[in-house]
Amino acid sequence: MKKWLSTVTAAALTVSLMAGCAGGPEAPKSGSAPAPQGSGTKAAPPITLKLIQNKVEVTEQVKQMAADYTKENPNVTIDAQVVRDLDTLLKTRFASGDEPDIFFAKSYSGVKDWSERLLDLSNEPWMSQVVASAVPGMTVNGKKYGFPSALEGYGFIYNKDLFAKAGIDKVPTTLTELKQLNEKLKAAGIASYAEGYKEGFILGRNLFNLPFAYSPNPDELIGKISGGTAKVQDIAHMKSFFEVLDMTVKYGKGVESVGISYDNQVAEFSSGKTAMMQQGVWTIDLIKKVNPNIKIGMFAIPLTDNPDDTKLPVGIPAYYVINKNSKNVEEAKKFLAWMHKNGQKYLVDSMHLIPGFKDLKATDDLGPLAADMNTYLEKNKTIPWAYLLWPAGMDVQFTKPLQAYIGGQINKDQALEEVQKLWNTAVKK
């Protein structure tokens, strides 16, 4: 399952990925002259593959990968759009008839929603190398539709030097220790957080995922809520979720948190203005671009006082999928096969991703966040991205009442009542 601070805004960032001279699909490619008459050869027809994804933090790496593909395949241009609001753009493009050839589909919910338009990739040669944990999120009615982008995890990313300055020598593994840590930071005059609660994926998705993911059986719990036999108000860890949320506001920017964007959140943390931020492994390049010398780590967000309960959410954020109605299906399949074959170079070494393939290996130089995530993986201390099982689009909808709670317009009970109403409306559609 990425975002350059100086160039990325909430609007779409369109990146035309071409090797050679500028121009549309009909533009001649550098170094590819027409075949001489009578040579018996025929130049391959020009092809443009339209690609849409939302990992904006690896835009430059994707650009280089696509350029390299074009060098090997001079008749192919990859035209990619890298966007924040993936769902909206996809709906617009498909409605207008300007359909992409390859695009990102969110794990499970996105794949399921788009499944009728997707090419079955079950028999692609690289599918046998997909890690077991990546298979459920791409599978609908027994068919496998996705190429896993990466394994990702998130928690609290922290500044080791600021922790040391406050006399903190270990990361918290319980809710009580997290409270004590915040008090130590406060006593040292260090702000704990600058959370980007303007963004739905930070507040209404990743953070609100925790009480669901920490449940013994998230699938069963979410099924009961959708079936009307359980309510979000009754979730065992919901009280602890609000304690953590309250801490991030109290020891952070207060009500101003609802106006802080992802870019500003990462900038504040990377420049050493805050000790922590709730984010994931995908932020490593953004952080290092702002402050290459910063010493950081990541720990799981606790919701109980039992250290054994504390686990890191890990999953596949999205899959590359192929539009089965594309005029360039074979070239799209060829591109995915090429990306897998060269995955160690591009997905791992260049994009610094944890690969979703057994034959690709995460390296030691992927950085401290990936290393900490791997520690949780090795110890089997992970929890799922349960939000993938929510009704479609709920992460965005749930953000609104949670923002209102932070802003003081409604209380905790009212926020949960609104979440329940939104859930009920979604399952009735």
pLDDT (tens digit, 9 = 90+) per residue, 51-73?
999 888 788 898 889 999 999 99
Please tell me the predicted confidence (pLDDT) of residue 62. Answer: 87
Query: For residue 427, what are the contacts with CB-CB under 8 A and spacing of at least 6?
Result: 226, 391
Residue of 274, 261, 324 whose CA lies nearest to 84: 261
Q: What parts of the chain have a pLDDT lower than 70?
A: 1-41, 364-365
The model's pLDDT over 274-316, given as tens digits with 9 standing for 90+, comes to 999 999 998 988 999 999 999 999 999 999 999 999 999 998 9
Please tell me the predicted confidence (pLDDT) of residue 40. Answer: 53
Please tell me the predicted confidence (pLDDT) of residue 41. Answer: 55
Q: Is the dihedral of CA 96, 97, 99, 104 positive or negative?
A: positive
CB 90 within 8 A of CB 113: no
Please tell me the predicted confidence (pLDDT) of residue 362. Answer: 79
Please tell me the predicted confidence (pLDDT) of residue 137. Answer: 86
CB 77 within 8 A of CB 48: yes
- For residue 170, CA distances in Å to 89, 237, 250, 306 come to 43, 24, 22, 16
The alpha carbon of 427 is separated from its chain's Cα centroid by a whole number of angstroms, namely: 25
Question: Quick one: tokens of 212?
Answer: 């669901």
CB 285 within 8 A of CB 58: yes
Amino acid at residue number 425: T
CB 49 within 8 A of CB 78: yes
Q: How far apart are CA 55 and CA 76, in angstroms?
A: 22
- For residue 106, CA distances in Å to 86, 114, 387, 392, 429 come to 9, 10, 11, 10, 20
Look up the pTM and report it.
Answer: 0.74
Please tell me the predicted confidence (pLDDT) of residue 338. Answer: 97
Please tell me the predicted confidence (pLDDT) of residue 380. Answer: 84
Residue count of the chain, please give it: 429
Taken in order of first residue, the domains within the chain and their CATH numbers are 13-150+316-359 (3.40.190.10), 152-315+370-428 (3.40.190.10)
SS3 17: strand
Question: Quick one: tokens of 287?
Answer: 């952080």
- E strands, 43-159, in order: 47-53, 76-82, 102-106, 139-140, 143-144, 147-148, 152-159
Which neighbouring-strand residues pair with 158? 276, 297
Please tell me the predicted confidence (pLDDT) of residue 361. Answer: 85
Amino acid at residue number 303: L
Please tell me the predicted confidence (pLDDT) of residue 233. Answer: 95
